[in-house]
Amino acid sequence: MLLPPRAPLIRNSALGTGVPHENYTPASHINDADFVTETAGTIASSGPNPTLVLGIAEHDSNANWGGQAPPPAAQNIQNVLGASNVGLGGLVSPSPAQTIVATLGPNIGVEMSLTPTTGWITGGAQQANLGTLVGLAVDATTGYYIADPTASHLIGRIFAKPFAPNGPFGGGSGFAGDLGARVLVEFLPAALQATQGE
């Protein structure tokens, strides 16, 4: 059975600590849930098959409070986070142009879909299992980042399956033989541009 891809989700650290969030200025437009890389203090979407990753964008880079006229002027996505929340608790960017990134580090898992041609345990051209090394691909239809064991840059490892007992197919996690099943990926230290809390 082929499961549709879904956006990556960061899970809390296995150590029980929260996932760190940092604010960065985008060099170009970034979609919500894009993997990003950092260059000279700015971030950009990593694109498929990156060698390094910083983290995952927590919102569309246009969803900030920059450049907005006060109501009742017409509003758009730029007003999603709201200027009144700036600087409160670190989850809202202190700058109108910044994007919040959940940075990756040791023991931080990312729930991801496998590629549509990869089967969980059995099936598919390149099957995946616990311990399988993966890189990143981008689904052509949805734009979601997906785990790809055939990538030339293998930067993460499948360490578990998400626990999702409700809904069809165990909440979408997938059974043996399912293509595009959900898996939990931990990124290799050599592929990370930041460590937890940096």
Dump pLDDT digits (tens) for 128-187: 999 999 999 999 999 999 999 999 999 999 998 886 554 444 455 778 888 999 999 999
67, pLDDT greater than 80: no
Please enumerate in sequence order all residues whose Cβ is within 8 A of that of 167, keeping only pairs 6 or more positions apart, or say none. none
pLDDT at 57: 92
Q: What is the DSSP string of 24-57?
A: EEESS---TT-EEEEETTEEEE--SS-S-B-EEE
16, pLDDT greater than 90: no
Q: Give the bridge partners for 49, in sequence order.
A: none
pLDDT at 189: 92
Per-residue pLDDT tens for 79-103?
444 444 444 444 455 566 788 888 8
d(CA 189, CA 169): 32
Amino acid at 117: T
69, pLDDT greater than 80: no
Percent of the chain clearing pLDDT 70 (strictly above) = 72
Phi and psi torsions of 112, nearest 5°:
-140, 160
Q: How far apart are the first and last CA of the chain?
A: 40
Per-residue pLDDT tens for 107-130?
788 999 999 999 998 777 789 999
Q: What predicted TM-score, i.e. pTM, was given to this entire model?
A: 0.82
